[in-house]
């Protein structure tokens, strides 16, 4: 508990100004760029953060504006008089030397900063100084600039950020900042931890920007979320009733993350942590801004709906027998796995101890999500204490306890998961079919994957034998991925070939290559 003391105190007092390190932002954003180099191309990015004139989010995206191919960068600030935490604030030279500066307004009004173009050079990106890394502009270059080292390439200075005062104090809930939300494609920031639930709800309430919504037709795949986002929060937020359903439905997940889930922030709050690693800051040449301290906060992660490569890396796991024999965890080695008293699942206290060959439900720590691969596991639910119905029927209500129990002792928050393939490899599945159905070995060939069956299948459906994935037809079919790989042009070609073709409806080609349409199909796969 002591390691989270700084966060707890800040939350209780609403004093939760934590400013993110430049290196942490760079490391996180690189994960998305490496997975998809065009993730930000042509996009408007909103950074609703405090004091963007020196915010590292603003600096990072301004420096990489053209490299990322941004359309527009917007930052907003929150007025100093509206903050819960009061300090001896002084405006920066960047602000006071600007003709727009107003001493009275600066204390009570928020500000908006925008970057769309080079405003200071007679020619686009004409050599603009040296050192401090490249600050790039939004010229219409077709490809990223080469040479991104210290002082390399061309440079914009901070005066290319145009700014003016907002009508209000810059609160993200205000009408004018909400309008900026709706203009943006992607929202990135470190929101106040005390307002995390409200901030996430604010993001999700956003509408699609016109750049995304324009030109949509009934034949187009419409899987683009209204808003994409990347925000920092406490790991315990995973089990919030406003958050967990999004994670379970694969609408939100964790980002690449901080090292050991610990973040070092700049903050107005002095920390007594012995793990501040100030020497490391000094070696890296990172100076602490005047009036701020370094604060270490544990259990911090990035929440996002932007895809990255780490999310698709499968966990390398041992069998249950090997875990019991070789596990490095004393709770498992030589002992085995405990079954919950009030949940139909086994307790797995460490992610690396998940047994590869277990086919039923298991409970894992919330930190599992840092390694979660949706192709490898399905999230079933969470402990009942986090929301009514969260355990999806796993809870035994007769226990009278909403948290998982092992031998009468309460276990901390757990997420319940199942392996997508039931833990059986192809050979094990083949053996299962031979034993259950009495086939001869030479008669059995295993073909893995999803099957489409008539709706009359439900008359014979055994939920222990098969898992229902979805159903084809229209928008409902699209919601389960049917036709999601078809482009607008491919859909149009199939419609011209067969008037019965619809987006989200299954089709196939017969032996003569003629396009054929099925009646409604249910999509299933083997559970074991």
Show the domain range for 125: 2-212+222-310
β-strands 44-48, 72-76 pairing: parallel
Q: Which of 10, 45, 367 is CA-nearest to residue 192?
A: 10
pLDDT level of residue 341 (50, 70, 90 thresholds): very high
Whole-number pLDDT of residue 244: 87
310, 336, 366 — which closes off a domain?
Answer: 310
Q: What is the mean pLDDT of residues 83-110?
A: 67
**Same-domain pairing of 286 and 152:** yes
Q: What is the mean pLDDT of residues 267-291?
A: 67
Task: Give the percent of the chain with pLDDT over 70.
Answer: 69
Whole-number pLDDT of residue 68: 92
Whole-number pLDDT of residue 346: 95
Q: What are phi and psi of 280, to 5 degrees?
A: -65, -40
How far from chain centre, in Å, is Cα 318?
28
- Provide the mean pLDDT of the chain: 76
Q: What are phi and psi of 288, to 5 degrees?
A: -80, 125
Give how many domains the chain has, as a whole number. 3
The answer to whether residue 10 is domain-embedded is yes
Which is more confident, 418 or 263?
A: 418
Tokens for 167? Answer: 């009508």
pLDDT at 448 over 50: yes
The answer to whether residue 317 is domain-embedded is no
- Convert the pLDDT of each residue in 387-435 to its tens digit: 778 888 889 888 889 999 999 999 999 999 998 864 456 676 667 667 7
- Convert the pLDDT of each residue in 175-217 to its tens digit: 999 999 999 999 999 888 888 999 999 999 987 665 444 444 3
The answer to whether residue 437 is domain-embedded is no
The answer to whether residue 435 is domain-embedded is no
**Same-domain pairing of 295 and 332:** no
Whole-number pLDDT of residue 7: 45
**Same-domain pairing of 81 and 113:** yes
Q: What is the mean pLDDT of residues 423-448?
A: 68
Whole-number pLDDT of residue 302: 93
Q: What is the mean pLDDT of residues 124-129?
A: 33
Q: What is the pTM of this model?
A: 0.66
Interaxial angle between packed helices 196-204 and 175-183, expressed in degrees from 0 to 180 and rounded to the nearest 10: 50
The residues facing 228 across adjacent strands are 186
Q: Which residue has the tokens 């930000």?
A: 40
């Amino acid at each position: 508990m002591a390691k989270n003391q700084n966060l707890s105190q800040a939350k209780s007092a609403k004093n939760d100004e934590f400013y993110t390190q430049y290196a942490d932002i760079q490391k996180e954003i690189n994960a998305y760029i490496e997975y998809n180099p065009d993730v930000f191309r042509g996009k408007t990015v909103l950074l609703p953060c405090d004091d963007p004139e020196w915010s590292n989010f603003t600096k990072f995206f301004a420096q990489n504006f053209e490299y990322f191919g941004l359309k527009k960068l917007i930052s907003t600030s929150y007025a100093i008089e509206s903050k819960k935490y009061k300090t001896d604030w002084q405006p920066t030279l960047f602000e006071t030397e600007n003709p727009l500066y107003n001493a009275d307004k600066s204390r009570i009004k928020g500000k908006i900063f925008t970057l769309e173009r080079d405003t200071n050079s007679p020619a686009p990106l004409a050599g603009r100084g040296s050192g401090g890394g490249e600050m790039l502009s939004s010229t219409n270059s077709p490809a990223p600039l080469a040479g991104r080292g210290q002082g390399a390439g061309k440079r914009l200075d901070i005066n290319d950020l145009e700014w003016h005062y907002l009508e209000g104090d810059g609160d993200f809930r205000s009408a004018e900042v909400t309008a900026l939300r709706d203009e943006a494609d992607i929202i990135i920031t470190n929101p106040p931890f005390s307002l995390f639930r409200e901030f996430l709800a604010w993001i999700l309430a956003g509408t699609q920007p016109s750049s995304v919504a324009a030109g949509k037709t009934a034949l187009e795949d419409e899987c683009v979320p209204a808003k994409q986002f990347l925000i920092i929060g406490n790991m315990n937020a995973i089990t919030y009733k406003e958050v967990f359903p999004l994670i379970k439905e694969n609408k939100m997940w964790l980002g690449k993350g901080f090292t050991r889930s610990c973040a070092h922030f700049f903050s107005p709050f002095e920390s007594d942590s012995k793990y501040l690693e100030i020497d490391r800051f000094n070696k890296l040449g990172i100076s602490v801004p005047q009036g701020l301290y370094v604060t270490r906060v544990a259990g911090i992660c990035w929440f996002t709906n932007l895809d990255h490569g780490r999310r698709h890396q499968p966990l390398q796991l041992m069998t249950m027998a090997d875990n019991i024999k070789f596990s490095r965890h004393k709770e498992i080695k030589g002992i085995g796995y405990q079954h919950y008293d009030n949940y139909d699942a086994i307790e797995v206290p460490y992610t690396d101890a998940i047994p590869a060959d277990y086919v039923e439900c298991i409970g894992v720590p919330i930190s599992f999500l840092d390694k979660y691969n949706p192709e490898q596991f399905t999230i079933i639910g969470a402990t009942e204490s986090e929301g009514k119905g969260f355990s999806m029927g796993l809870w035994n209500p007769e226990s009278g306890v909403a948290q998982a129990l092992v031998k009468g002792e309460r276990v901390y928050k757990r997420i319940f998961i199942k392996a997508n393939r039931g833990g059986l490899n192809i050979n094990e599945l083949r053996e299962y079919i031979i034993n259950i159905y009495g086939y001869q070995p030479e008669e059995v060939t295993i073909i893995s994957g999803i099957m489409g069956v008539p709706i009359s299948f439900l008359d014979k459906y055994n939920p222990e034998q098969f898992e229902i994935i979805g159903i084809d037809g229209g928008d409902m079919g699209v919601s389960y991925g049917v036709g999601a790989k078809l482009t607008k042009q491919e859909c149009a070609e199939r419609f011209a070939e067969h008037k019965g073709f619809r987006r989200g409806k299954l089709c196939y080609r017969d032996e003569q290559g003629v396009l054929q349409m099925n009646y409604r199909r249910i999509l299933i796969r083997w559970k074991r």
